[in-house]
Amino acid sequence: MNLDEVLAEIDAFLGCETPQAWVDEALKQQEILLIDHANCEKKAATTAMNLLYKHIDREDLLKKMSQLAREELLHFEQVVNIMKDRGITYRHVSSSRYAAGMRDAVRKGGVPELIDILIVGAFIEARSCERFAKIAPYLDKQLEKFYRSLLRSEGRHYKDYLTLAQQYSDEPIEARVAFFQQLERELIESPDADFRFHSGVPTAA
């Protein structure tokens, strides 16, 4: 698959496009964008590490999540370097409602919990990829190049999560995917007072 095909698949997987109002706000709040982006990379690595601890009997998961955690930490280092170049101090920025909103809907216990966590992972990766692609053309050369460089790996992460969810589920996952697609869409398209990498439509700034 070439990159355009990956992006087309991701657009079809997601229930909506990132609203232009988010892009406009992101351009005004690039410092928060980068700090929250750094946080997201750390959290992505943590999610993968948690799965590594919990599912030691699932060989493909161990392989994919170990690789993913390493890549996310590499991205983290890259974002921190860019922040340093720009004189941005890494300070505490609270999490957005996005990932928590998705995680709250995860079924508790056993295989259903694993399947939901993997599907949520697929959506978070897919949305990240879609946002990097969407905002890249508006950014300065360094940041544009960096965000474009992330598309390939985030596209692969989305695919890895979705493939593992299909592989480990005893039943078709389409209904759960549709459920999370709808939830994710609400989080992206509804008003959101806190601008973050995965926030909704910014309320009047």
Q: Which residues bind Fe ion (CB under 5 A)?
A: 41, 44, 72, 75, 125, 154, 157
End-to-end Cα spacing for the chain = 40
For the CB of residue 125, give the shortest distance to Fe ion in the complex, in Å.
5
Which CB, 131 or 157, lies closer to Fe ion?
Answer: 157
For the CB of residue 4, give the shortest distance to Fe ion in the complex, in Å.
19
Which CB, 64 or 75, lies closer to Fe ion?
Answer: 75
Which CB, 75 or 196, lies closer to Fe ion?
Answer: 75
Tell me the CA distances in angstroms from 168 to 115, 123, 126, 136, one per residue in order. 7, 17, 20, 35
Rounded CA separation 135/146 (Å): 11
- Give the up-direction half-sphere exposure of residue 42: CA atoms within 13 A in the CB hemisphere: 10
Which CB, 72 or 192, lies closer to Fe ion?
Answer: 72
- Give the up-direction half-sphere exposure of residue 166: CA atoms within 13 A in the CB hemisphere: 8
For the CB of residue 120, give the shortest distance to Fe ion in the complex, in Å.
13
For the CB of residue 46, give the shortest distance to Fe ion in the complex, in Å.
12
